[in-house]
Structure 1
């Protein structure tokens, strides 16, 4: 078991503890570290039997920048600390009330492309590591199809307004403020589910309590993808829901009725704030080192499994 997973096993079994860890891991200053410093920190953790406070810097650097299956450094733009600086402005832009279809499609394309890259980079690649497989043409086509579909689907509210010539204020409010809430959550889940579908087909590595590999399990792969999809749906669904609901409520108040220009900056600020708070909350919703009961594994793995439950790397 990789040293990153060992750290999550030691420190990440409590939800509040995970939230605290993720708040530290999402520090953008961690992006300034070089690959040499990151690998040194990862190697240092692997050589330590017990980690104390003086190793905290190495723990944060390793957990935020090293893939727990390959042991390699993650690409800079797809590391967890880069999620807010890069996707934050894109999320704000996609939730704006656009005047035409083209800008809605453009911002959705950027956001969905980044989400697909982030999901794929931070997937569980244990089966690929064991079989020395590289990204297949099928997987590339699947990622491209996912980006295309989610881009079009994400712009549907604006497409409805423009193509159907909707002028009714209540219907426009529904399309701009209500419809994006379930749509954002569903597309976030779909993006994870399709980009990481190979994990459900080939399975992922499972470990016993001592960290020894037991085998490749499709059941664990399905659970890892489902849990990650739900956490991402929580992130984007809540980010769309809270600011839109607040704007709808505040538009009925006297200050906002007197000055309609207040709605736009309030929406921008609230989206960015909610998104930044929801990242550590959603990432902590399920433990990065997930558990699965022995009886839920494939029959061929149950015979060699020691203990009542096993562990797997959920990915991010």
Structure 2
């Protein structure tokens, strides 16, 4: 078992402990560290890990391959790269083309981030993506781009003129739509884990084998956490703007709505990232009765462990 997973086993069992760890991991200053420094931190024994080594290793090294993650696909870069794309994706555009363009950028990055941080324990013989994985990823980006642009498509292609209906399509529909798109995207991109299985470990960190049941659980948990992230990020600005419209200040100065919307999207998204990442343990557990029969004997304490991915 990778040192990162041993750390999560000892320190990340409660939501609040995971949240505290993720706040440190998401510190963008870790992106300035060199690969050599990151590998050195990851190579240290757990007893020698200080706060800097923990942050560098957890934020920059993949827990299955032990390789340093690409700079822009590390958790610490997630907010910096995604926030502008999320803001642009949630804004009302003057035509469908701009909506599709920004959704394409957003969904492309989200798909690539999911691929880079997925569980790769069953793929150690080949670091290249399979043709099936590439097709699934490309299809996911296309589907998610169209689905994410659905409110704009409905307004302009159907010729919606009612301001009430426009408001509903722009403020209310994106909430369930964003959550659903995020869930389906993760589930599709990581579907191979459910089909081929992922590595599971006993309580001592010894490899037991591959489990499809664990793969299904890992993918479902990650998909739910991503749905919570984007669903809540879409809900915060909509609810905030609705409340602000009732105040006299906003009614007199409606020009404040646009900057307040931008700020609320960024703040909501930024606050939800560590929350969503903390919803489920990085080192997940699965009961022995829920795994394949040939793996049940290895669950001495009734549980087996797996890397959930991100």
TM-score over 0.5 for the pair = yes
Equivalent positions of 1:80-159 (< 5 A) are: 80-129=75-124, 131-132=125-126, 134-159=128-153
Matched position secondary structure for 2:122: helix
Where does residue 40 of structure 1 map in the other structure? Answer: 40
Q: How many residues align?
A: 310
Report the 3-state secondary structure (helix = DSSP H, G, I; strand = E; otherwise coil) of the residue aligned with 2:123: helix
Q: How far has the Cα of 1:255 moved from its partner?
A: 1.7
TM-score normalised to structure 1 length: 0.96
Indicate which of 39, 48, 59 corresponds to 1:64.
59
* Distance in structure 1 (CA, Å) of the matches to 2:111 and 2:20: 26
| 250-259 vs 63-72, which moves further | 250-259
Out of 158, 161, 164, the residue aligned to residue 170 of structure 1 is: 164
Paired with 1:132 and 1:151, the residues of 2 have a C-alpha distance of 29
Question: Secondary structure of 1:307's match?
Answer: coil
Aligned twin of 2:269? 275
4+ runs of 1 displaced by more than 4 Å?
Answer: none
Q: Distance in 2 between matches of 1:142 and 1:65?
A: 26
List runs of 5+ in structure 1 lacking aligned partners.
Answer: none
1:298 aligns with 2:292: yes
Q: CA deviation at 1:254?
A: 1.8
* CA RMSD, Structure 1 to Structure 2 (Å): 1.0
| Distance in 2 of aligned mates of 1:132 and 1:165 | 50
Q: Deviations over 1:56-83 (max 9, x none)?
A: 1111100000000000000001000000
2:22 is aligned with 1:3: no
2:179 is the alignment partner of 1:195: no
Q: 1:194-213, aligned counterparts within 5 Å?
A: 194-213=188-207
Alignment correspondent of 1:252: 246
Output the CA distance in 2 between the equivalents of 1:153 and 1:177. 15
Q: Is there any run of 5+ residues in structure 2 with no aligned partner, and where?
A: none
- Residue deviations 1:225-270 (CA, integer Å, cap 9, x gap): 0000000000000000011111122113222222221111000001
